[in-house]
Amino acid sequence: MECIAGTCFAPCLFMTKTGKPVKWYTSAFDIEDRKRVEVLLAGEKRLLEMIARGDSRELILEGACLLVEELASGCLSSILLLDPNANCLRHGAAPSLPKPYIEAIDGAVVGPSAGSCGTAAYRTEPVIVSDIATDPLWANYRDLALAHGLRACWSTPILSSEGKVLGTFAIYYREPRSPAAQDHSVIRQITHLASIAIERKQAEEALRRSEGYLAEAQRLTRTGSWAWNVASRRSIYWSQENYRLFGFDPEEGIRQTRCFTSAFILRIEIECAEKFFLKGRRKAPILTWNSESFFRTEQLNTFARQGIPFVTYPAISWNMSVHR
């Protein structure tokens, strides 16, 4: 078998019993497609591992761009992120584009005639510009692109799982060019991976903001919170304010002493409180500990055996100045 310019030839010779050649067959097949698929699969695996490890968004998106540039020789790729508050696109990754060009398009406005990327984000569909020099969509950016030797730009919106625009993925060429079928396939794969990376980072940022707001609210209202495993009778989470209220050091971890867990607070559902406490039908013993009052866990366990519903108390709040 012989390979020439990515095409392999496999000859097959048929001969008679006496060794005389009768027929000669040759089959040819292109190995470039197989190599491209192997590179794409390896790249996808690498990017997914980066996402799972929690690598930075910038590093993941740059890796996605470099993978495309490895698959499509001569291209330059970029990822822009949507800023919904300003309705513009911000730099995400562009390892091979000229730095002055990257800086110039950072903050490009989304609109119906805003180059390939701004228009793709506006339309929520791919925008293929085969020749920047003549396409009207590039009227406001044509001189900038041509000055850096960019002649073609294909942009595809990166969509969330809910179909919202997260950003755009673009492929540039230094000569007029239209995408082939294999280019569309690569673009679909890369935009999907980019959406996973972007959505995960956005979810992490939203969680950090939410936790920050909750911590500040607890600090201002002197409210602590925790989680308790009923089966094991162990605390599994304490908020920072909970440590402060009980006077424990967060560096020492969650207290699991019998003295503390025996005084662990449980909340009786409002209906049960009205039925069994407020109406005077039952009285729960009180345990004073650390200058505070708690329902005894043993009494509530008795309620549980009698079929009285209760759940773990999610928060504790009091004015410490009253007791000091």
Q: Of all helices (H) and strands (E), which one includes residue 81?
A: strand 76-83
pTM over the 0.95 mark: no
pLDDT at 209 (0 to 100): 86
Residue 256 lies in domain: 222-322
Q: Quick check: is 86 in a domain?
A: yes
Based on the structure, what is the number of domains in the chain? 3
**Based on the domain organization, do 91 and 6 belong to the same domain?**
no
**Based on the domain organization, do 58 and 189 belong to the same domain?**
yes
Q: Which of 209, 230, 259 is the last residue of a domain?
A: 209
pLDDT in tens, 190-215: 999 999 999 988 888 888 888 888 88
For residues 234-250, average pLDDT: 79
pLDDT at 269 (0 to 100): 40
pLDDT at 231 (0 to 100): 72
What mean pLDDT value characterizes the chain?
76
**Based on the domain organization, do 18 and 43 belong to the same domain?**
no
Q: Quick check: is 214 in a domain?
A: no
pLDDT at 173 (0 to 100): 97
**Based on the domain organization, do 46 and 165 belong to the same domain?**
yes
* Alpha-helix runs per DSSP H in the chain: 32-53, 57-71, 99-105, 115-123, 142-147, 181-221, 240-246, 258-261, 270-273, 297-305
Q: How many CA atoms lie within 13 A of 65 on its CB side?
A: 24
**Based on the domain organization, do 256 and 183 belong to the same domain?**
no
pLDDT at 219 (0 to 100): 82
